[in-house]
Amino acid sequence: MGETFEPVQLRPLGIGEIFDRAVTLYVRNFLLFAIISAFVVVPLSIVNYFALVQQMGTFAQILDQIQHPARTPAAVSTPFGLWFAVLILISFLVTPFMYVAMAAALGRIYNGEQTDWRSAYGVALRHAGGIVLTAVCQAAILLILAFTGMFGLALAFVAAFVLVRFAAPLGVVMVIVAILLAILYFIALMLCYLAIALSFDAIGIEETSFVRAISSGFARVFNRSELGKATLVCLAFAAVQLALVIISAVVGGTLEAFLHQRALQAIVSGLISILTTGFIGVLLAVYYFDVRVRREGLDMLAAIERLQAPT
């Protein structure tokens, strides 16, 4: 499935080298990483399609009821909120397995071995318990950060608007401060997500407990020497995701306008998502190995050897 290489000498990489290596490995092993990412994208695309169809049907039903109030309302089908909940659940529970599978596949490529999606997901499935527990912790951590951060930002903006009314110069300064705090808040959220993503890789590659994996993930990101590079990686993730949203919206809107086929629109959007999701997974795996080499100076090839599935 994947192309066989000579063992790669793992060494500290610059931010440009990280992206260069991720692009190179992704292109050379495109089919492998596309299949790995498809296990996440396909279920999400199917659920998203039915959610959108349900949403459009609900809007049409509401509009019809407004225009014809005497008409008997149609039976209510599955609510949109339920589809959205299923979408979030699949994303949180299935995506971590893809991260671990990507890291396992990349580790064997680094070691000069030929690999496929079965052995990569085999590594993830052997640590299913730890991955699920980490995913639950991820949801809790991100929810707590989201609510506390939004509450703090709301207070900052309210204070800024009050100051603008009574002391304009000071209020303008406070508005700028609030905007800067909002930017820092979203960067902090992305850094936390990156740290937890590294925790998933640690469970599969290092075979550690979920508690230790989470602590090591945050320690590897939130330190003076790594914070700048981690921020750049997060911004790259955000740029790729933004490009995905724009491309999917343009392609989907074009197909809807000319062909009026939501199913075809969902298929094309899913294919685009497979491309970008696969690259993000490879980039994250490359970054994980690079962080360990730079921060810990470990012989990573010894850890990669343990990924060999038992016969």
Distance CA 147, CA 151 (A): 6
Strand, coil or helix: 311: coil
Domain ranges of the chain: 26-68+76-305
Pick from 200, 205, 219, 201: nearest CA to 302: 205
Tell me what the mean pLDDT of segment 185-212 comes to: 87
Q: Give residue 311's pLDDT.
A: 46
Please report, as a single letter, which amino acid is at residue 119.
S
Instruction: Evaluate the CA torsion angle 87, 92, 97, 103 in order and state its sign.
Output: positive
Tell me what the mean pLDDT of segment 110-120 comes to: 82
Q: What percent of the chain has pLDDT over 70?
A: 74
Residue 117 CB neighbours (<10 A) = 20
Please report, as a single letter, which amino acid is at residue 127.
H
> How do residues 216-274 score in pLDDT, each as one tens digit?
889 888 888 888 888 888 888 788 778 777 776 777 667 666 666 666 666 777 787 78
For residue 68, what pLDDT band results from cuts at 50, 70 and 90? very low
Lowest-pLDDT choice from 100-114, 172-186, 242-256: 242-256
To the nearest 5 percent, what fractions of the chain are helix, strand and coil? 80, 0, 20
Tell me what the mean pLDDT of segment 277-288 comes to: 89
